[in-house]
A and B are shown apart, each in its own frame.
Chain A
Amino acid sequence: MPVLVFIDVAEGHVKKASFEVLTYGADLAKELGTTAEGVVLGSTEEDLNVLGKYGITKIHQVKNSVLDHFDSQVLTNVIAQVAQAIGAKVIVFSNNVDGKAIAPRLSARLKAGLVSGAVGLPDTSNGFVVKKNVFSGKAFANVSMTTDVKIIALSPNAYKVQETSGTALIIPFDAKVSASRVKITSINKVSGEVPLTEAEIVVSAGRGLKGPENWGIVEDLAHALHAALACSRPVADAHWRPHNEHVGQTGIAIAPNLYIAIGISGAIQHLAGVNRSKVIVVINKDPEAPFFKAADYGIVGDAFEVVPKLTDAVKKLRGTS
């Protein structure tokens, strides 16, 4: 009755979020006294055996060209077949874009309880209780699942990846694959940039920057730190920056290791989207900006003077100046 971990692949490459869920799945299996196995749908360009270093023993791979394109209906159907064939009791996803589409479908298909946005291992001392974020990160809930099969969708960047030694056995799985009703016509990726939801460091700016023409200093800092760019809601609403950079309660919720907020006052709605960041740095010329109350480090000063100096100091540290 193993734990089954969904290994998310995009364009042949295993996503970073998958390493977190593999580590989580392996630790969960230990807690439950069983083993963790993975499932990969579609073909990959990478060697999957090495994923054993995250603590899983077997990977079931279903190769079928239909599965190389994302369709939650088709993928759910195949994962359900694998889960039933191996008798999985807990199925783990990342609560990333793909997990948010598949996990609820699988929950309905298998009548399996789902906790999405989990932030830790379940407490199995009295039932099966998983901690998750609620109220957009302003609080957490402990959610109990009583169904025979359970599904956990783990918040990205909530569980530390651990590598050990070991290789996983790749087992081809012969699944019935239905035709897809979704035709993907194009995939547009911004090349060379760190995806916001996967980024360990995020540099974010707000109205304090005064206009889109001033983003150069923010981009320079982000580049020096290998960070992703983000912005506040007013900035996205004014079309200074694209919507996909808007973090906050009504944008994207993120939980990077380091969040640097420049010229953002820190309205409660913005904080809700970023308050799970491990360390928060705030740069704002207004010492009364509410964001300072939620920050670990701060500089009260003019962004146009502080940020270029900060970038220089980062470059110096990294030896790239």
Chain B
Amino acid sequence: MKILVCISKTPDTTAKIAFTNNNTKFDTAGVQWIINPYDEWYALVRAIELKEADASTIIHLVTVGGADVEPIIRKALALGGDEAIRVNAESHDSFYIASQITAIAKQGGYDLLFTGKETIDYNGSSIGGMVAELLELPFISLATKFDLAGNKATVTREIEGGEEICEVELPVVISCAKGVAEQRIPNMRGIMAARTKPLKVVEPVAAEVLTSAQNFGLPPAKAGVKLVPADNPAELVRLLHEEAKMI
């Protein structure tokens, strides 16, 4: 069994969001970078659990980015995984990134491809679906539970107001949401082992860029909270009804 886990670098969840160069670039000053939480907590940890259940499992990590991604990918290797591949290219276009991951997936012959459900920076939720289409594989999105029995996966996915359970034969692409696994903290042994795990750098394949972010902005700030006395919640109901017209 070979698993490919897609890893993306994102700003920390508490990072201050600001833009520079006339609002055309994300301001990286002072920003701490992390593994995209969905990629780490759910996709990667579930892959590691599958390897713990079957030691013959091989886990590869793939990321598309410059050399500055390497601390992030080493951290991912410290959690688990056998080797990492960095495609040496920088792009925010989902199709370009998906094309790179597809090229790696084709070479590796993976049984299972895991992505997080989305990245917390560009919120595209696109990579898994695009890779699945390019590889002509089934794609189960927003998985909240993933189990494997031989060649057959049983996957639960979120739907509006409930969940849907399905069965699919490998190979398959899965985008992972909360519930698939629980966050882990890398231990010292893992951190030491990660230093010597292979981290291959490959050059990108030719691929089209379909979209480009022209500029960014911040939503307008709230005007300020209107406080209602705690002993008079009826006044809040009146305001929501007459002023905000929401109830």
Contacts and interface: CB of A to CB of B under 8 A. Distances in A.
Contact of A139 (B167, B217, B228): B217
Chain B's interface size range is 35 or more
Given A184-B165, A258-B246, A297 B239 contact: yes
A138 to B, nearest CB: 4
Interface in B166-225: 166-169, 178-179, 208, 210-219, 222-223, 225
A108 B218 contact: no
Contacts, number: 285
A309 B234 contact: yes
Contacts of A316: 234, 237
Given A96-B160, A250-B41, A314-B247, A108 B98 contact: yes
Interface in A112-153: 112-117, 129, 132-147
Contacts of B123: 116-117, 132-136, 253
Given A243-B178, A279-B240, A183 B162 contact: no
Contacts of B168: 181-183
Interface string B95-139: 100100000000000000000011011111111111111101111
Contacts of B212: 143-144, 146
Interface in A80-114: 95-97, 100-109, 111-114
A245 to B, nearest CB: 11
B38 interface: yes
B70 interface: no
A301 interface: yes
Contacts of B122: 134, 141
Given A243-B178, A250-B41, A310 B236 contact: yes
Interface residues of A, number: 102
Contacts of B164: 70, 184, 186-188
A136 B247 CA distance: 27
Residue among B214, B218, B246 with max Cβ neighbours from chain A (10 Å) = B246
The A contact surface, by secondary structure, is: mixed
Given A183-B167, A250-B120, A258-B244, A140 B216 contact: yes
A101 B129 contact: yes
Given A76-B133, A108-B98, A183-B166, A116 B124 contact: yes
Contacts of B124: 104, 114, 116-117
B19 interface: yes
Contact of A236 (B158, B161, B178, B246): B178
Contacts of B133: 73, 76, 104-106, 108-109
25 contacts: A73-B136, A96-B160, A106-B133, A107-B129, A107-B210, A116-B126, A117-B124, A132-B123, A134-B216, A137-B219, A141-B122, A141-B214, A141-B217, A181-B168, A182-B138, A189-B161, A194-B161, A249-B120, A258-B240, A258-B246, A258-B247, A292-B225, A296-B244, A297-B228, A314-B237
Interface of B: 11, 13-14, 17, 19, 37-38, 41, 94-95, 98, 117-118, 120-134, 136-142, 144, 154, 157-169, 178-179, 208, 210-219, 222-223, 225-231, 233-234, 236-237, 239-241, 244, 246-247
